[in-house]
Amino acid sequence: MAELYQPSLLSYINVTLMDYFLILELPEEIQALVVERVAGNSITDLYGLRASCKSMKALAEWSRVNHFYDVLSVPWRLNIPPELFKTCYAERNPSTFFMKGVQFFFKFNLQEAGLAFMKLAADEGYKCAVYTYAMTRIFFWGDEKYFARFTRESLDRIEKLV
């Protein structure tokens, strides 16, 4: 009996989505927004998108995309090139600011600079930074002002993670 070929789900999705939803037919601004959202999801997804076609690769290499990376989502076993961190920092990437803030505050004992970096990341809405900044302020200075940014739902999610 002949064995039937069963394509993987990923190849099925790629063929099906490309047949029905041609992203390349969207205006370039919309394509750029898609790439930004994918970059915010994970660096793995971004590299998968880059591999999908030449125009997506060109959009993914667009420098503004580096602002949306979450560098903390990259598995630590991967060696991230230092140039990527420098580019993300230059693009005012919130996760890079958060990493710098934590490093300056806790490792180098540069509290003022570290707190400033954490606040920059928190003001950009980076969730880890919002929580860390608020907890650092309350722990070291008893300042509860930043806790007003937390919603009931976000506190429930944090409670489940911790």
- Bigger pLDDT: 33 or 147? 33
Read off the pLDDT band of 11 (50, 70, 90): very low
Mean pLDDT of 65-73: 84
pLDDT confidence of 3, banded at 50, 70, 90? Answer: very low
pLDDT of 60 reads: 76
Higher local confidence (pLDDT), 55 or 100: 100
pLDDT tens by residue, 126-162: 988 988 999 999 889 888 887 777 777 877 776 665 5
Dump pLDDT digits (tens) for 56-68.
777 777 757 888 8
Higher pLDDT, 46 or 141: 141
Mean pLDDT of 116-134: 92
pLDDT, tens digit, for every residue of 74-92?
A: 777 777 788 888 988 999 9
| pLDDT top residue among 63 and 53 | 53
pLDDT of residue 45: 79
Higher pLDDT, 1 or 136: 136
> Is the per-residue pLDDT at 93 higher than 90?
yes
Q: Give the DSSP per-residue string, the chain.
A: -PPPP---HHHHHHHHHHHH--GGGS-HHHHHHHHHHHHHH-HHHHHHHHHH-HHHHHHHTSGGGGGG--GGGS-TTS---HHHHHHHHHTT-HHHHHHHHHIIIIIS--HHHHHHHHHHHHHTT-HHHHHHHHHHHHHHH---GGGGG--HHHHHHHHHH-
